[in-house]
Amino acid sequence: MKHTATLLINCPDRKGLVAAIADFLYRHDANILHADQHQDSELNLFLMRVEWDLNGFGLPVEDFEKHFAPIAERFQMQWQLKLATQKPKMAIFVSQYDHCLADLLYRHQSGELACDIPLIISNHPDTARLAEFYQIPFHVIPVTKDTKGQAEAQQFELLDKHNIDLIVLARYMQVLSPDFVARYPKRVINIHHSFLPAFVGAKPYHRAYERGVKLIGATSHYVTEVLDEGPIIEQDIARVSHRDQLEDLIQKGRDLEKVVLSRAVRWHIENRILLYANKTVIFD
């Protein structure tokens, strides 16, 4: 595991920002491994990600906030410090389709996703054997229109018990309540089986087939109260033709869904994403 720290910054754009940050890290003997920035001139906004090696870093991590505060205040920064050694805890929600779940669990086992997965929550028992194979606790919480509030209360209890940092909806076919979304802002990632903003909501492959599209896609995004309109993290597409039937679109789409979701989850875990104005900046 890497022994690094990552600083994420969002603030008004002005001269001297990069110099001030680099000078602060230099004065404390930081060896910068990666640094990237983005300016939005229209909103006069500056965003930055900088990662450095903690070996030889002359400032104890617990003292970072106290020493960095004057710079942050001077430049009106919103900032976060993330440590590679502190692996986030991720919960996966799934319904009956298992392809995204299987892909995430395999990538986690292979070391590609540097996180812990304390539990999987489903409203159906169909994927229990897959969770058992990877030795991850599996909880079935049925959801109906009349029991949605009760079901989410049970989910909250489990998520709080395990101190979950990130929730991934791996084809979880339920709309989260506003209360759920408000409890976990910018911490719920969904995969939608279309190239948003086209074909929002249910059965997008059916509507794409009926429309005769030549491209289908998949979109991973953060969940907000407005269905399928949260900040987009990643998208990809596949070409289809008049010869493809609905089943072909669904099969091609599932391949896209797995890749798009896993990329989004990995970038979140690696602290490569900053959000603003319902957009995302994905740093290399």
The two three-digit tokens of residue 143, written as one number? 């959801």
CA angle centred on 42, ends 39 and 47, rounded to 5°: 25
Compute the mean pLDDT over every residue in the chain, rounded to the nearest whole number.
Answer: 95
Which CATH code for domain 89-282? 3.40.50.170
pLDDT digits (tens, 9 = 90+) for 101-145: 999 999 999 999 999 999 999 999 999 999 999 999 999 999 998
Whether residue 122 contacts residue 94, with contact meaning beta carbons closer than 8 Å, is answered with yes
Q: What percent of the chain has a predicted confidence (pLDDT) above 70?
A: 100
Whether residue 220 contacts residue 191, with contact meaning beta carbons closer than 8 Å, is answered with yes
Nearest to 191 by CA among 79, 81, 74, 94: 94
pLDDT digits (tens, 9 = 90+) for 216-233: 999 999 999 998 889 999
- Reported as a pLDDT band with limits 50, 70 and 90, residue 171 is very high
Dist. CA 197–CA 69, nearest whole Å? 40
pLDDT digits (tens, 9 = 90+) for 84-98: 999 999 999 999 999
100 three-state secondary structure: helix
Question: Mind spelling out the 3-state secondary structure of 174-234?
Answer: CCCCHHHHHHCCCCEEEEECCCCCCCCCCCHHHHHHHHCCCEEEEEEEECCCCCCCCCEEE
- Reported as a pLDDT band with limits 50, 70 and 90, residue 198 is confident
pLDDT score, position 284: 86
DSSP 154: H
* Residues designated as active site: 228
What CATH class has 4-83?
alpha beta
The two three-digit tokens of residue 142, written as one number? 């049925």
pLDDT score, position 197: 81
The H or E element containing residue 101 is helix 99-109
